[in-house]
Chains A and B, each alone.
Chain A
Amino acid sequence: MRRLRWGGTWLVTVFAVVGALVVGAVLIAVGDARTRDAATYFFSYPWDTFTEAGYAVRDAYAALLQGALFNPALSGTAALGPISETLVNATPLILTGLAVALAFRVGLFNIGAQGQIILGAVVAAYVGFAWDLPAGLHLLVALLGGVLGGTLWGGLVGWLKARTGAHEVITTIMLNYVAVNLLTFLLGLQGFQRPPYGQAISEAVAPSARLPLLLGPSLRVHLGLLVALAAAVGVWWLFTRSTLGFRLRAVGANPDAARTAGMAVGRLQVVAMAAAGGLAGLAGASQVLGVTGSVTGSVAGTVGFDAITVALLGRNNPYGVVAAGLLFGGMRAGSVQMQSATGVPVDLVGVLQALVVLFIAAPALVRAVFRLKPGGARAVGSELSAGWTR
């Protein structure tokens, strides 16, 4: 029974990705100049339109794939550039996706990952440039600082909910604004801002606190990737093997029964939000210590929100989150190559990402389009609404 249902979910997920690619193909064809030219004489030579559209779509998706995985035109480690970029993009998505998924499993809708990332990045960067510690230890302390920053930011949300009943959706959104403005303030503050104080950028993190690169100096993929994968295993262990995870899942699935069984529901919600914040904070730390080396206003990018789609696509399951993070990270990386090679704008990837989630949120639609048997996946919306009502 369980296996069947999982199978149904899995199929819907795969078909959602396929469906998104099909819709994306239509957009590519419509946006392609040669296809449009061919369409002007569509009624004389209709086949021309389709061939041109086919070429355009093939070239765009081939470039996307190449930009995400492997570049055969280059030799040596440079050929691995695309896959390295994919992994660099995927690292914060996986960590933050886990942050959203963990909270989700406990019935909390964490929209505040953005703010938690920023706090993690700020604390990690500060430890990284202001403190002077031996190599290795410095990195560890900086990473823990990032976790701490996110934990406090997330835990605050949990505490507000447990103590006052304030809904986490509202408080996380508000705290995102606070975090963004805090960051702007810090980037203009002497001691944090980098001299000569012309730009909104922080001091540079000391080399002793940088995450080592995994595949040599020419590729950006860094140790943060392994941290993210370890975090995924950790979250999996937490939920499937630990007593704390057992209680967290119970609170997520039925808070009333959890309370009746003597669990401290409020305290567990604080723990969940703090742990989620810690994971997002780790994502921020990993960006600063592994990629940028300093904090700017755009340190979090849109990762905090993309992570929600990663968690949804991954069905709040740690392995699913890793897979979804890799997929979206790859699309991100490939989109640059796609734009430079074929002129299809990088924004197409944003559209694809949105379509995937849209299809997953409406499993009935996917089933109708692909004629799957009913009774498989639950709508993601049902998980969302559970997050809303509690």
Chain B
Amino acid sequence: MELELRGITKRFGALVANDAIDLVVREGEIHALLGENGAGKSTLMNVLYGLHAPDEGEILVDGRPVTFSSPGDAMDAGIGMVHQHFMLVPTFTATENIVLGSELVRGGGLLDRRRARQRVVETSERFGLAVPPDALVADLAVGVQQRVEIVKALLRQAQVLVLDEPTAVLTPAETDDLMRVMRELADAGTSIVFITHKLREVRAVADRITVIRRGRVVGEASPSSSSEELAALMVGRDVRLTVHKAPATPGDVVLDVEGIRVTDGAGTVLLDDVSLTVRAGEVLAVAGVDGNGQTELTRAVVGLQAVDAGRLSLSGEDVTGEGVAGLLARGVGYVPEDRLHDGLVGSFSIAENLVLDLSSSPEFSSGPALDRAAVARNAEARVAEFDIRTSSPQAAVSTLSGGNQQKVVLAREMSRPLKLLVVAQPTRGVDVGSQEFVHQRIVAERDRGAAVVLVSTELDEVRALADRIVVLYRGRIAGEVGPGATQEELGLLMAGARPSGAAAASATASTATDPERDSA
């Protein structure tokens, strides 16, 4: 089936999310839709999937115009979508999830579970998508859950499969597996629209690439283009993908984490005997697939998460159990992974967010009153210094783009003299242009003598910024490697395999490995 989008325009008020976009997806091809966050990729796919009605333009299936007013219409026309966040019921089995919404019924309104299971098995075998039909979805790994979503779409006779940022949650090995599946599906005649902002993956798997910037198609590219060419197309100017930094000159130990253990309310161990040290003037990167304890580690280090065991010290002083306010006062800066959830108050102005943790400091207050003039002066200075693109420092921070919001967080944290900077996912949802800036500021902070802990799931970012890398796997440190580690080495550690090249882990970080877990 051939799918064509012709002149699709979608406006939200004054914002033109899609501006006369043309896109042709041929039968059996993998068509990558490449663009930064906010470029309009998801809007376009929501138009295609019947979630938004286009203001102009039309959708053609095999040359015939069609209108979709709901996802049901799109599914009937053979379009399937795998969302970035899976739409699965965790307490249902894989089979139940797959047939949900198109259940097979026997006489008397009973579900025909046997036939449903059989169809699931057939479909998954035909496309090489291994799915355990009777396992509860909650027990499945993320990569397998994604396969459940794909089988679900295929079972509904999807001939065009839209994958929205499918690799964001996958390990490198799972990503490779997904790419193999995509290739097989395409060879079997299914068309695939692959939405992503990851250049490496696009070049590895796509047949054709359409680049979208600010709601418009800015060009087509072939998979043989270099990453620099693709990035330049995406951003609209030349982008340096590598971060220039001098070799680290580590000083005294700033952060010393000794055997900390964190459990949640239900008793699940989230961090188990994690030890690491970070010295002044170096970047320690914590790599790993999302959800392996990184969040808990950063929260424990900045005092937001109580530890059940272990010790935290800052420049030799024991700070275990010290609250956030105390740690901030000791010179800890924190850039949380979800900035709108933890880092910013969305309805507050940029100026207010820039002093969120400093409102009572003598600099910004006079007695019980907020010194509004000082707050405004500070905002003017930070907006200029960090190149925050806004109409006014008094604008609500929620009106900014992701990259500019991140700059607000960075500007605030870096406005104090820092001993330790903890940055989690610093470029998540940040456009490529701002990523460069964010990376430079992190390196600048290191060069100024701060110890930096960088938590990231983006391997390119980890390797570009890190002086040392530790990998977290299921709440434990799976190993430590240098910044020159290959993708494969990191990938193995992230998947929990025993490190081969990591035996020579540096003496500054002790690695805790669990043989039983490693064999998994």
Which A positions have Cβ atoms within 8 angstroms of B? 1-2, 241-247, 249-250, 253-254, 256-264, 375
> Is B325 touching A262 in the complex (CB atoms < 8 A)?
yes
> Is A253 touching B348 in the complex (CB atoms < 8 A)?
yes
Q: Assuming the A-B contacts A243-B359, A246-B370, are A262 and B341 also in contact, with contact meaning beta carbons closer than 8 angstroms in the complex? A: no
Interface size on B (CB < 8 Å)? 33
> Is A257 touching B13 in the complex (CB atoms < 8 A)?
no
Complex CA distance for A256 and B323, rounded to whole angstroms: 14
> Is A260 touching B342 in the complex (CB atoms < 8 A)?
yes
> Is B359 touching A256 in the complex (CB atoms < 8 A)?
no
Complex CA distance for A244 and B367, rounded to whole angstroms: 11
Pick the 3 closest A-B CB pairs, nearest first.
A262-B325, A261-B357, A261-B356
**Contact partner of A262 among B13, B342, B357, B365, CB < 8 A?**
B357
> Is A250 touching B345 in the complex (CB atoms < 8 A)?
yes
156-215 of chain B: CB within 8 A of chain A: none
Complex CA distance for A142 and B494, rounded to whole angstroms: 68
* Candidate in A242, A249, A258, A260 with the most chain B CB atoms within 10 angstroms: A260
Contacts of B343 in A (CB 8 A): 257, 260
Q: A257-B341, A264-B325 are in contact. List 8 more A-B contacts (CB 8 A).
A: A1-B396, A2-B396, A243-B368, A254-B347, A257-B342, A259-B342, A260-B302, A262-B324
Q: Assuming the A-B contacts A241-B372, A262-B328, are A1 and B342 also in contact, with contact meaning beta carbons closer than 8 angstroms in the complex? A: no
User: Is the contact region of chain A dominated by helix, strand, or loop, or is it mixed?
Assistant: helix
What would be 23 A-B contacts, judged by CB atoms less than 8 Å apart?
A2-B396, A241-B369, A242-B370, A243-B364, A243-B369, A244-B368, A246-B352, A250-B345, A250-B356, A254-B346, A254-B347, A256-B342, A257-B344, A257-B345, A257-B356, A260-B304, A260-B324, A260-B336, A260-B343, A262-B324, A262-B328, A262-B329, A375-B13
Complex CA distance for A4 and B369, rounded to whole angstroms: 28
> Is B399 touching A1 in the complex (CB atoms < 8 A)?
yes
Contacts of A262 in B (CB 8 A): 323-325, 327-329, 357
**Contact partner of B345 among A1, A243, A245, A253, CB < 8 A?**
A253
Contacts of A244 in B (CB 8 A): 368
> Is B341 touching A256 in the complex (CB atoms < 8 A)?
yes
Contacts of B304 in A (CB 8 A): 259-260
Contacts of B334 in A (CB 8 A): 260
Contacts of A260 in B (CB 8 A): 302, 304, 324, 334, 336, 342-343
Nearest CB of chain B from residue A380's CB, rounded to whole Å: 16
B401 at the interface (CB under 8 A from A): no
Complex CA distance for A245 and B368, rounded to whole angstroms: 9
Which B positions have Cβ atoms within 8 angstroms of A? 13, 302, 304, 323-325, 327-329, 334, 336, 341-348, 352, 356-357, 359-360, 364-365, 368-370, 372, 395-396, 399
Nearest CB of chain A from residue B122's CB, rounded to whole Å: 44
Contacts of A241 in B (CB 8 A): 369-370, 372
> Is B395 touching A1 in the complex (CB atoms < 8 A)?
yes
**Contact partner of B360 among A1, A243, A256, A258, CB < 8 A?**
A243
Nearest CB of chain B from residue A352's CB, rounded to whole Å: 32
Nearest CB of chain B from residue A234's CB, rounded to whole Å: 12
**Contact partner of A242 among B352, B356, B369, B395, CB < 8 A?**
B369
* Candidate in B329, B346, B356, B395 with the most chain A CB atoms within 10 angstroms: B356
Complex CA distance for A258 and B346, rounded to whole angstroms: 11
* Candidate in A246, A247, A249, A259 with the most chain B CB atoms within 10 angstroms: A246
Complex CA distance for A264 and B360, rounded to whole angstroms: 13
> Is A242 touching B357 in the complex (CB atoms < 8 A)?
no
Complex CA distance for A254 and B338, rounded to whole angstroms: 13
Complex CA distance for A249 and B347, rounded to whole angstroms: 10
Nearest CB of chain A from residue B329's CB, rounded to whole Å: 8
Complex CA distance for A241 and B343, rounded to whole angstroms: 23
Contacts of B372 in A (CB 8 A): 241
**Contact partner of B359 among A246, A259, A375, CB < 8 A?**
A246
A251 and chain B: residue at smallest CB distance: B345
> Is A242 touching B345 in the complex (CB atoms < 8 A)?
no
Complex CA distance for A243 and B366, rounded to whole angstroms: 9
Nearest CB of chain A from residue B455's CB, rounded to whole Å: 15
A262 and chain B: residue at smallest CB distance: B325
> Is B368 touching A253 in the complex (CB atoms < 8 A)?
no
Contacts of B370 in A (CB 8 A): 241-243, 245-246
